Amino acid sequence: MPKNYNQLTESVRNRINPEHKALTKTFSDELSTISYSDVLVFIRTAMKGVEPEYTQKSKDAGERVKDHLLKGLSQVSFRYQGSVMTNTHIKAYSDIDLLTISEKFYQVDNYTVRQILENTEKRIKYFSSSIDKMEKEINVSSYQGNALEDLRSNRLKSEEILSDVYSICDIVKPKSIKIKNLSLNREVDIVIANWYDDVTSIINDKGEYRGIQIYNKEKHQRENTDYPFLSIKRINDRGTETNGRLKKMIRFIKNIKALSYNEIKLSSFDINAICYDIEVLKYQNLSFYELVPILYLQIKSICENKSHSDNIISVDGREYIFRYNSDKLENLKLILNEIQSIFVDLHINVLSK
């Protein structure tokens, strides 16, 4: 069935700009030059970022939560994670994830570090400066407190503080507290966590390479380690390198997924990896509509070439996306079908003329 691009464009606009705020002059001028083609207007709109005023409100809501928590918590630091931090979100009213990280302790992958230091074959693979960093880390005095109890205390104190401030405060979820700031009309997910340093983090002087372990209140344990800050840095760096084109492609796929009649089970984490895998030279100087064939060929290759799909890795370089998950590949085929029809319409109406 032919796509109604005017209707699809309106759906995207209502999601990214529901209050119909004035568009930036650059974008308005650009739209005026392509308005002769409904498919072009749709593609450009689906690649557009949320207006900065909306995003700022999401960040402001997070900052207000931080201010409240600082009045009752000690020895914590705060970091944000999620698509708002890379400007690849596609909803004006996006919530924001606020990590509340204990600074009383941090977890180190001592087992792997010791394996390297005590095994000559493994040790010689590292520079002497890296060995020095690992030896220094392994000799740091271990934390004498109770890490899980410290995390539990931060969770319970945060619940108490935020319940007193926000009329909408959900404390039931095991891994996060969700509040809604009614004046800003934004939700914030507050996540209790601690730092985690593996070998890669240690030899790279930590920073964006550090991982986090999220506290699960229900199980009274820490979840598997995530590395959100390296992913954020890499997407932002490549976004700058490609003058925003990487982020346009990510937003485009997210909007395609959101508009589909099918339930497509692919996360932002997956979509980021698919786009990040594309060789920069293939698209860094292309016009926005020329990114559609690039995406089509990329996704087609992943769907049809097992060697390619097996080697798609997360932006942080730590997790294979499709190698051990055939269901995700089936869901990607749904995205391929959606993009293929857009690609065909683009070819008929624009590229072939």
pLDDT at 349 over 70: yes
pLDDT at 9 over 80: yes
Residues counted in the chain: 353
Q: What is the DSSP string of 52-80?
A: HHHHHHHHHHHHHHHHHHHTT--SEEEEE
Strands 169-170, 221-222: parallel, antiparallel or unpaired by DSSP?
A: unpaired
For residues 229-248, average pLDDT: 97
pLDDT at 35 over 80: no
What pLDDT is attached to residue 19?
83
Per-position b or e across 128-164, b if 16+ CB within 10 A of its CB = eebeebbeebeeeeeeeeebeebbeebbebbbebbee
Q: Which of 51-55, 228-232, 233-237 has the lowest mean pLDDT?
A: 51-55
Domains of the chain: 53-226 (3.30.460), 232-351 (no CATH)
What CA–CA distance (Å, rounded) separates 317 from 332? 20
Is there a contact between 54 and 61 (Cβ–Cβ < 8 Å)?
no
Average pLDDT of every residue of the chain? 93
Is there a contact between 146 and 105 (Cβ–Cβ < 8 Å)?
no
pLDDT at 30 over 90: no
What CA–CA distance (Å, rounded) separates 238 from 244? 8
Higher pLDDT, 352 or 106: 106
Structure tokens at 163: 């319940």
Structure tokens at 319: 């997790």
Per-position b or e across 182-203, b if 16+ CB within 10 A of its CB = eebebbbbbbbbbbbbbbbbbb
pLDDT at 18 over 70: yes
What CA–CA distance (Å, rounded) separates 10 from 237? 31
The string of pLDDT tens digits covering residues 195-233 is 999 999 999 999 999 999 999 999 999 999 999 999 999
Instruction: Supply the pTM of this predicted model.
Output: 0.92
Q: How confident is the model at residue 142 (pLDDT cuts 50, 70, 90)?
A: confident
What pLDDT is attached to residue 86?
96
Higher pLDDT, 11 or 352: 11
What Å distances lie between residue 18 and 14, 26, 90, 139, CA to CA?
4, 20, 12, 55
pLDDT at 337 over 80: yes
pLDDT at 1 over 70: no
For residues 124-132, average pLDDT: 95
Is there a contact between 39 and 345 (Cβ–Cβ < 8 Å)?
yes
The string of pLDDT tens digits covering residues 261-284 is 999 999 999 999 999 999 999 999
What pLDDT is attached to residue 134?
96
For residues 21-41, average pLDDT: 70
Q: How confident is the model at residue 111 (pLDDT cuts 50, 70, 90)?
A: very high
Is there a contact between 190 and 100 (Cβ–Cβ < 8 Å)?
yes
Q: How confident is the model at residue 347 (pLDDT cuts 50, 70, 90)?
A: confident
